[in-house]
Amino acid sequence: MVDIILLGGPGAGKGTQGELMETWLDLPRVSSGDLFRYNLSQQTELGQQAKGYMDRGELVPDEITIGMVAERIARPDCANGVVFDGFPRTVGQAAALDALLAGMGRAVNVVLNIAVSEDVLLQRLAGRWTCSSCGAIYHRLFSQEKVEGVCDACGGGLMQREDDNLATQQRRIRVYQEQTAPLDAYYRQRGVLVDIDGEQSPEQVGRLIRAAIEAVLP
């Protein structure tokens, strides 16, 4: 049983690494951003509530986000642990996650703090393409698909996220610095935070992450 948090700015590589970890750890990746985008695509009430915040690059209020994640991790596939991607993003969400996991007899085992400078974050977000069908992540320069515009994994079409425009990207980075960066101290105090140099190839970042997780696995 292991509960892992991927922490890092927008574009740091959380989704990229989370996808790889899902496979080798055989654990579900719970991405709050993906859950919101799914709700948007299904035009649910939750999706409607989240839309304005996402379009502006702001955080969706804690009560909405926490409720959505609580419902997700109560499902049976999360019984052996979770790779959290993009959640928590505020101290309030972190405290709520502690309480939720404590209620299941669990606690956060390791927080992977993927550090990437602002310039590189912007470069990554500008070239990000995502499969509209399975969500696989590509980059125009750093992680290209084999056939242009077609997902290697499922054959779906690739698209750019609506919030990957320059103004929203810059806003998301500011919001990260103001509201999410304090989680660094929150988890460091507890001794569960591991710093990962995110400015290396995805393979090398993956190796660092794997070593950090193997150090805490029972």
If the CB atoms of residues 109 and 200 are measured against ligand ADP, the closer one turns out to be 200
Instruction: Give the contacts of 68 (CB within 8 A, at least 6 positions apart).
Output: 32, 35, 36, 39, 46
Say if CB 159 and CB 130 are below 8 A apart. Answer: yes
The residue among 40, 59, 58 whose CA lies nearest residue 132 is 40
Q: Which of residues 33, 135, 198, 206 is near ligand AMP by CB under 6 A? A: 33
Q: Does 8 bind ligand ADP (CB under 6 A)?
A: yes
CA torsion, ordered 96, 100, 103, 105, to nearest 10 deg:
-110
- Burial, 100: exposed, middle or buried (Cβ in 10 Å; 0-12, 13-18, 19+)? middle
Q: Taking the complex as a whole, how short is the minimal distance between the CB of residue 121 and ligand ADP, in angstroms?
A: 8
Q: Read off the amino acid at residue 111.
A: V
Q: Does 169 bind ligand AMP (CB under 6 A)?
A: no
Q: Which of residues 4, 7, 128, 169 is near ligand ADP by CB under 6 A? A: 128
| Edge-to-edge order in the sheet of strand 158-159 | 137-139, 128-131, 158-159
Active site residue 210: no
Active site residue 146: no
Residue 127 binding: pick among ligand AMP, ligand ADP, none (C-beta 5-8 Å cut-off by kind): ligand ADP
* Residues at the interface with ligand ADP (CB under 6 A): 8, 10-16, 124, 127-128, 137-139, 142-143, 201-202, 205
Q: Which residues are catalytic?
A: 14, 89, 128, 161, 172
* Residues at the interface with ligand AMP (CB under 6 A): 10, 32-33, 36, 53-54, 57-60, 65, 86-87, 89, 93, 163, 172
